[in-house]
A and B are shown apart, each in its own frame.
Chain A
Amino acid sequence: MPLNQVPLSWFLILSAALFAIGVAGFLFRRNIITVFMSIELMLNAVNLSFIAFSYQNKQVNGHLLAFFVMVVAAAEAAVGLAIILTVFKNRATLNIDEMDSMKD
């Protein structure tokens, strides 16, 4: 394989790997902040896919979608971290296993 080009599918496979790792973190971790960071990791993986598809179609639309994902992720981080602050103020814990008052 020549050194000056990369198959597009490698980008998509990297994106899939990052997404799978993000899902793993979301499901396995118990710290609410790490769970939140896993969500950001998944959003980043999807962004990489958007940019790769944009390259494939030689259009700028994928960049715009990635841009909107970024904006929504920033807004989501602000609100989500405020919620984490409030939860910590009321319960003094970051463990998601202990936040189960809606179960009973």
Chain B
Amino acid sequence: MDLILFLIFGLIALVCAINVVLQTHPISSAVSLIGVMGSLAILYLLLGAEFIAAAQVIVYAGAVMVLFVFVIMLLNAGKEVHKGRSFMVQLLGVPLLIALLGLLAFLARHMYQPETMVHFGGFQGGSAQAVGHALFTTYLLPFEVTSILILIAIIGAVVLARKELD
């Protein structure tokens, strides 16, 4: 059952990710990206990360992607104009990326022997309580720094996007 769930949602994530790169219209890419984030949330649940799965749906698939779609509609972004790329890029781009993927997959496969088997419910420590406890004890300083970072981001976004008043 877990294997089937992983295969279904892993495949959806992969197909949607390829679609993000291949689509020429930004709004299609954005919708595909929402598909990736949604299926990743299911995989987080499978790995026992309930809180992160909920945050993924709310923060990423909700807030961040709404911001993206909003900007795409505001700018009325149309189809991408295709220009010829250099010969080297066309020849080497995809093989080099497959080489990168192969290297990463090889490392993932061989660095962790013997292999851990994932099954649903195998790790119970990902609840909101556990995450909150770690967040406000061990990671209290990074948490406070993050709040300052968000404050800076809010002010920066407002300053950058405001209308010029002459």
Contacts and interface: CB of A to CB of B under 8 A. Distances in A.
Interface of A: 1-25, 27-31, 33-34, 36-38, 40-41, 44, 47-48, 51-52, 54-56, 58-61, 63-64, 66-68, 70-79, 81-86, 88, 94-95, 97
Given A8-B117, A20-B104, A33-B77, A55 B21 contact: no
Interface in B135-160: 135, 138-139, 142, 146, 149-150, 152-154, 156-158, 160
Nearest to B115: A7
A64 B108 contact: no
Interface residues of B, number: 84
Given A3-B2, A40-B33, A75-B153, 6 more contacts: A16-B101, A24-B93, A44-B60, A54-B49, A77-B68, A81-B67
Interface of B: 1-4, 6, 10, 13-14, 17-18, 20-21, 26, 29-30, 33, 36-37, 40, 43-44, 46-49, 51-52, 55-56, 59-60, 63-64, 67-68, 71-72, 74-75, 77, 80-83, 85, 89, 93-94, 97-98, 100-101, 104-105, 108-109, 112, 115-119, 122-123, 125-126, 130-131, 134-135, 138-139, 142, 146, 149-150, 152-154, 156-158, 160-161
Given A4-B1, A34-B80, A97-B83, A77 B64 contact: yes
Main secondary structure of the interface of B (DSSP, over half): helix
A77 B46 CA distance: 27
Contacts of B82: 30
B83 A63 contact: no
